[in-house]
Amino acid sequence: MNESLLRELVPAVIGVLVRRGADFASAEDAVQEALIRALESWADDPPRDAKGWLVAVAWRKFLDAARAETSRRGRELAVEVEPPSGSVAGVDDSLWLYFLCAHPSLSPSSAVALTLRAVGGLTTRQIATAYLVPESTMAQRISRAKRRLAGVPLDRPGDPATVLRVLYLVFNEGYSGDLDLAAEAIRLTRQLAAATDEPEVAGLLALMLLHHARRASRTGPGGRLIPLAEQDRSRWDTRLITEGVMILQAALARDRLGEYQAQAAIAALHADAPSTAETDWVQIVEWYDELLQLTGSPVVRLNRAVAVGEADGPQAGLAELQKVDPGLPRYAAVRAYLLERAGDLERAAELYVEAADAATSVAERAHLTREAARVREMR
């Protein structure tokens, strides 16, 4: 059975049910039940009209649930029309669902979960496994998100910036369990890019592809983190890099620069360099300047300090670092790196230890601890 096909059909089937009169939450529930039924009954012999089959089963599930609710409350069922037989018209509701699931009224975690279920077609169990939480916890999160949307007019969904932010959040979750969220985010962003003509959507897709191209080289045995300077660049996926650069160039040619295009430009410069030493750090600093103007982000300012340190020397980088809040995550690690390059090994080792203590993941903590040990041996 082609589970990827099933997931791709989910937005269209939800859209059909909503247009027939179902509310979003009930439609999404019914489609999930239809997906389970398909997984159980299709095996290796799916129906000729997969979408029509899913619509028919999901609509019956919705009617059954509505009748049960009507019986319990003593109300009459508002919709009693059986679905028409035959194929279902091909109307693409993916874009509408992207915007609805990423509504600003939802928390980021709820928006991500709902997007993965309603647009990505993933089951609650798959999403829970990917986020390493109990299925019941994820079910409650999704239910709360749908209840939050109950009073939202379906003709006024969320804004594009929220949609892109949710997709980037999905991508940055990376990989855990048996579900590759990075690959899933790329799949969903490809769909969105095909459905809209926004340069920032293309910019986000390019950014994802360029980052994903380096994935195989980022970790070693046992999940050991490998910093960019030490990565085996022969393991980078040149096909993804080429695709990402082409998409980025087309987006930049539109002359409507946004933060994802600027980030993708920085990633492209890293991907183009034969080594860290041969990277065009001056141009990277210029792109960070653009990004800083677009976002004003303290994280961007922190990363810019590193780039300045590479372009103009560690003392220049340390001077830029003085403009950054010391309480920012990774501040100690960045300062340690710049101090090491400036020759202050004792203070660098101390800061690597401090950064390791504040690390939020085991892999990052182990990496920073190794850096502290390495610098101590250099003294």
| Percent of the chain whose predicted confidence (pLDDT) is above 90 | 46
pLDDT tens digits, one per residue of 21-51: 787 888 888 888 888 888 777 776 778 888 8
pLDDT digits (tens, 9 = 90+) for 365-374: 999 999 999 9
pLDDT in tens, 312-329: 999 999 999 999 999 998
As a whole number of angstroms, the distance between CA 40 and CA 53 comes to: 14
Can you tell me the mean pLDDT for 83-91? Answer: 41
Q: With contact defined as beta carbons under 8 Å apart, do 264 and 213 qualify?
A: no
d(Cα 333, Cα 113) in Å, to the nearest integer? Answer: 32
Q: For the chain, what is the mean pLDDT?
A: 85
| Tens of pLDDT, residues 116-142 | 888 777 778 878 877 778 899 999 988
pTM of the complete model: 0.76
Q: Are 187 and 212 in contact (CB under 8 A)?
A: no
| 1 pLDDT above the threshold of 80 | no
Give pLDDT, residue 157: 59
Angle at alpha carbon of residue 164, lines to 158 and 166, rounded to 5° = 80
Residue pLDDT, tens place only, 200-251:
999 999 999 999 999 999 999 888 999 999 999 999 999 999 999 999 999 9
State the pLDDT confidence band at 268, using cuts at 50, 70 and 90.
very high
Instruction: Report the alpha-carbon distance of residue 64 to residue 143 in Å, rounded.
Output: 19
For residue 148 the two structure tokens come to 């939050």
The letter for the amino acid at 141 is R
pLDDT at 179: 64
